[in-house]
Structure 1
Amino acid sequence: MSFDVSAQQHLLPFIIFIVMLAIGIDLETQHFRKLLREPRVPVLGTLVHTLTFPLAAVILVASSLALDLGLSEASLIGILLIAACPSGGFSNVLVLIARANLPLSVVLTAISSLLSFFTVPLFFWLFSDIMPVLSGRVELPVAPTLLHLLVLILLPIGLGMAWRHRNVEFVTTHVARMQRYAQRMFYVVLVLVIVQEWEVVRSGIVEALPWSIVLCVVTLSIGFLSARLLGLGPDDCATVAIESSIRNLAVALLIAANVMNRLDVAVLPTVYVLAVLLVALAFSLVWRRRQPATEPSGQ
């Protein structure tokens, strides 16, 4: 089988559908009922974690342009792309490691994924509007983007939730295994795409890694401080900070490869995963040390 086209154009969308289906089967209506009963923390957390990354991205990109730091167009667009994407499921793992508020993390990730149908194209429009110098360089075709998000994000999440509702016992028993398989399949396809486009990836790693680390540090800091200023508790602040720094790589790859047809733009979002492993994981481990060895907060 040749992966020169199918890995990014055919296999990647299929795997993303499976990953989003796995997210959907982990969601229960009780997550959203709790949101309606106690809306303050989830609503504030959603506002902070939705706006933190785009704000940090605009600051970094504007600084790079103003100071002429030589950030390539691909990395510039890559920063804005990862900022526009929804939160990723890895945030739940980091919150669990940190012993912070895991139920809040699950709700924030779910809301972020559902809102992505609107927020991804909206943020790209705002980026071009806020920074006129980017006009014509940061463009996202609206109709193809909405179609991809509808078919590959909202639809599988909805199907996953419906599947769980109709087969609670089976899904509850096998959800962890299904999610592991989905994640492994995604990483296999990611490796295939990277191998296929290795020259493009290799040329962008050196530039992308330091910017990715800075971006992760900034989003963690802004997310935590903003939540603190809004009066959230310590564990809620840590949860919002982690959620603010994590983005869904699958969605970023989907848009870069299948909507923009720009694999060079996908380099920074891919490298950002390394920054998360270095910075966000370290934050979670440090936060964990200040907590007693009990169940995660909120459970």
Structure 2
Amino acid sequence: MDSALSTIGLPIALAIIMFGLGLDLTVGDFRRVGRHPKAVLVALGCQLLLLPAACFGLVLLFDLPPLLGIGMMLLAASPGGTTANLFSHLFRGDVALNITLTAINTIVAIGTLPPITNLTIRWFDQSDSVSMPLVEVVKVFVLILVPVGLGMVVRARRADFAARMDRPVRAGSAVILAVLILGILLDQRDDVGDYLADVGLIAAIFCALSLVVGYVVPRAAGVAGDQAIASSFEIGVHNGTLAIFVAVEVLDSVEISVPAAVYSLLMFFLAAGWGAVISRRVAERDTQRVAG
């Protein structure tokens, strides 16, 4: 990838996206956990425990090369992105719960993403070629927390401005992600066919599995339909930009970013199709309940 794009553009892109996330957040979003503890705890359990374990199983099943395997686990350890809120809104999910989960997931990921990634690096015996030292962990921490905090301050002091900026920032985030994906694919154009063959199927399976687990497990735990939809998208729509940033800037490997780039392409189609299915099911169930 072009050095200017990776060393300057990528951190700025991540900061803009995290700032946009902050514009959606208030302190009350963190307090809302007390009102919906079951939905939040079940979703976090899926995000932090089930999905990394499932992803690691897929990595072993597909016998991925080490760097691509690390990239898949880095993706699994990444929190939900702002796109999850958009999908939840489109398909009748509890967007307030989405915002709460995104806020908590983003903060929790600062502590969970480095150890999951480092354990995977050690598993593949790649410690000599890639590493995630403390100084780089601090960099990730700053690039997540500071823009989110600034966005929250702006929201608290200028709610009207935050509301006006919501749509432009979301659109800009999508454009930024598209540019990053294009940059990665161009940088790796000589091997892109092999990468798609290696990770295309596993990325699609992981995305589909994330979406289904994010819905089915909360429903089985007695979580309401609209909250289960929110959980599904929060768990199924990972922050690909963060995964790409960590791969390129922290681990210094464009190849590790390939799974996140491929996943981000496939995710839009899979999430849209899944959203149409589950929102219809929830609507039909609500209609039957009213009729009954």
TM-score range, shorter-chain basis?
0.7 to 0.9
Quote the residue 1:209 is aligned against: 200
Amino acid at match of 1:177: P
Q: Distance in 2 between matches of 1:166 and 1:221?
A: 38
1:253 is the counterpart of 2:244: yes
Mapping of residues 60-75 of structure 1, within 5 Å = 60-64=58-62, 69=63, 71-75=64-68
Specify every segment of 5 or more residues in structure 1 that has no aligned partner in the other structure, as ranges.
294-299
Distance 1:39 1:87, change over 3 A: same
Quote the residue 2:90 is aligned against: 97
Q: Tell me which moved more, 284-293 or 231-240.
A: 284-293
Which of 274, 280, 286 does residue 265 from structure 2 map onto?
274
Query: Aligned-pair RMSD on alpha carbons?
Result: 2.4
Quote the residue 2:71 is aligned against: 78
Q: Distance in 2 between matches of 1:170 and 1:93?
A: 19
Specify every segment of 5 or more residues in structure 2 that has no aligned partner in the other structure, as ranges.
285-292
CA offsets, 1:258-294, max 9 Å, x none? 111111111111101233123222110112223549x
What TM-score results when the alignment is normalised by the length of structure 1? Answer: 0.85
Amino acid at match of 1:78: G
Quote the residue 1:113 is aligned against: 106
Mapping of residues 118-133 of structure 1, within 5 Å = 118-127=111-120, 133=123
Q: Distance in 1 between matches of 2:119 and 2:251?
A: 18
Quote the residue 1:136 is aligned against: 126
Q: Could you tell me whether the CA contact under 8 Å between 1:121 and 1:140 is conserved in 2?
A: no
Cα deviation for residue 17 of structure 1 reads 0.8
CA offsets, 1:82-140, max 9 Å, x none? 01111111111221222122211121112111222111112224446xxx742436964
What TM-score results when the alignment is normalised by the length of structure 2? Answer: 0.87
Distance 1:33 1:100, change over 3 A: same
Quote the residue 2:168 is aligned against: 177
Quote the residue 1:296 is aligned against: none
Q: Could you tell me whether the CA contact under 8 Å between 2:140 and 2:246 is conserved in 1?
A: no
Which of 147, 150, 154 does residue 141 from structure 2 map onto?
150
Distance 1:43 1:181, change over 3 A: same
Distance 1:58 1:93, change over 3 A: same
Q: Could you tell me whether the CA contact under 8 Å between 2:38 and 2:223 is conserved in 1?
A: no
Question: What is the aligned length?
Answer: 283
Distance 1:159 1:76, change over 3 A: same
Cα deviation for residue 170 of structure 1 reads 2.1
Q: Distance in 1 between matches of 2:180 and 2:202?
A: 25
Quote the residue 2:42 is aligned against: 44
Quote the residue 1:297 is aligned against: none
Mapping of residues 12-27 of structure 1, within 5 Å = 12-27=10-25
Q: Distance in 2 between matches of 1:189 and 1:236?
A: 31
